[in-house]
């Protein structure tokens, strides 16, 4: 199969069914290095399922997902992930600092000083200095979301997958978050799911609606319609 040179993630005739229910129907998608893919769609349309399949966390019922670097198929890509419903048990006795630091666990060749600096910088970027030693069980929903976002981006991954990053985030931090995302997008491929598309849509170069099948559309359709006219 021929892929565009800058293609890094390809979904090839992907289907997902639970029992007899079709959640994703024959999805074909090529994500290119440097893309900012904004994804929206109705509740239950299959957005989180699609992300988990892209991340290799969930197996498609049919079809395949492949990763490539410089046009050569690879088994893994460094991908940072902010899940929608976080799987962290907030009763688990772990601090904000430790949670954010866990995003560096896969980095083998990082010096202790550099590691400490990255952790401190990320805590500050997320506005969590006053909470760095707090247990995650004592955080508000928005503080926990910022902690998990810090964990997703601390390693400067090649691809960042964000499932509803604005959940629980207050208006003041929301604007700061847009700046952070715009800055990261300059050298990172981003796939971002949101129901709030008004600002995100303007940052993205690709706009996708997931309603069991996927529809790529123009930005202007994105936050106006939950379905779009197919090109
Ligand atoms: N493990 C599972 N077993 C059975 N059905 C599932 C499972 N996981 C998800 N589903 C179903 O798949 C459908 C798509 O779910 P998904 O979470 O992908 O939707 P979504 O577009 O992200 O929705 P939302 O906008 O509400 O977050 C839903 O109907 C959901 O109930």
Q: What is the ipTM of this complex?
A: 0.98
Q: Say which DSSP state 162 is in.
A: E
pLDDT for residue 93? 84
Cα 48 to Cα 27, 51, 196, distances in angstroms: 14, 5, 15
The mean of the pLDDT values for the chain is 90
Domain ranges for the chain: 1-77+158-231, 91-157
- Residue 69 is encoded by which pair of tokens? 């670097």
Question: What number is the average pLDDT over the span 185-206?
Answer: 92
Q: Is residue 208 lining ligand 1, measured as CB closer than 6 Å?
A: no
What is the longest distance spanned by two Cα atoms in the chain? 53
3-state secondary structure (DSSP) of residue 114: helix
Ligand 1 mean position, distance from CA 14 (Å): 16
3-state secondary structure (DSSP) of residue 145: helix
Contact 71, 153 (CB under 8 A): no
Consecutive H or E run containing 184: helix 171-184
Q: Is residue 147 lining ligand 1, measured as CB closer than 6 Å?
A: no
Share of the chain above pLDDT 90, in %: 74
Query: What DSSP letter does each residue of 26-80 carry, written as one string?
Result: EEEEEEETT-EEEEE--TTSSHHHHHHHHTTSS--SEEEEEEEETTEEES---EE
Question: What number is the average pLDDT over the span 157-171?
Answer: 93
pLDDT in tens, 26-51: 999 999 999 999 999 999 999 999 99
Contact 39, 205 (CB under 8 A): no
User: What is d(CA 170, CA 186) in angstroms, rounded to the nearest whole number?
Assistant: 25
pLDDT in tens, 58-102: 999 999 999 999 889 999 999 999 998 656 677 778 999 999 999
pLDDT for residue 2? 59
pLDDT for residue 87? 61
Q: Which CATH architecture has domain 1-77+158-231?
A: 3-Layer(aba) Sandwich (3.40)
3-state secondary structure (DSSP) of residue 186: coil
Q: Is residue 45 lining ligand 1, measured as CB closer than 6 Å?
A: yes
Consecutive H or E run containing 125: helix 112-125
- Residue 190 is encoded by which pair of tokens? 């981003």
* Ligand 1 atom index nearest CA of 195: 25
Share of the chain above pLDDT 70, in %: 90
User: What is d(CA 86, CA 162) in angstroms, rounded to the nearest whole number?
Assistant: 12
Q: Say which DSSP state 224 is in.
A: T
pLDDT for residue 1? 58
Q: Is residue 43 lining ligand 1, measured as CB closer than 6 Å?
A: yes
């Amino acid at each position: 199969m021929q892929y565009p040179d800058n293609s890094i993630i390809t979904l090839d005739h992907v289907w997902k069914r639970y029992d007899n229910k079709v959640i994703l129907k024959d999805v074909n998608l090529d994500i290119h290095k440097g893309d900012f893919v904004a994804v929206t769609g109705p509740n239950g349309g299959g957005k989180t399922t699609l992300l988990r399949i892209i991340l290799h966390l969930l197996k498609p019922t049919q079809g395949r997902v492949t990763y490539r670097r410089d046009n050569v198929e690879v088994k893994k890509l460094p991908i940072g992930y902010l899940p929608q419903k976080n799987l962290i048990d907030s009763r688990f006795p772990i601090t904000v600092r430790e949670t954010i630091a866990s995003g560096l666990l896969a980095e083998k060749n990082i010096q202790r000083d550099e590691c400490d600096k990255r952790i401190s910088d990320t805590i500050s970027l997320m506005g969590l200095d006053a909470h760095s030693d707090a247990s995650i069980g004592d955080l508000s929903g928005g503080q926990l979301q910022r902690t998990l976002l810090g964990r997703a981006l601390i390693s400067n991954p090649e691809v960042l997958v964000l499932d509803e990053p604005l959940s629980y985030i207050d208006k003041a931090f929301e604007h700061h978050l847009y700046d952070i995302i715009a800055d990261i997008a300059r050298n990172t491929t981003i796939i971002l799911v949101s129901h709030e598309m008004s600002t995100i849509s303007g940052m993205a170069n690709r706009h996708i609606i997931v309603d069991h099948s996927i529809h790529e559309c123009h930005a202007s359709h994105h936050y106006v319609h939950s379905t779009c006219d197919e090109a």
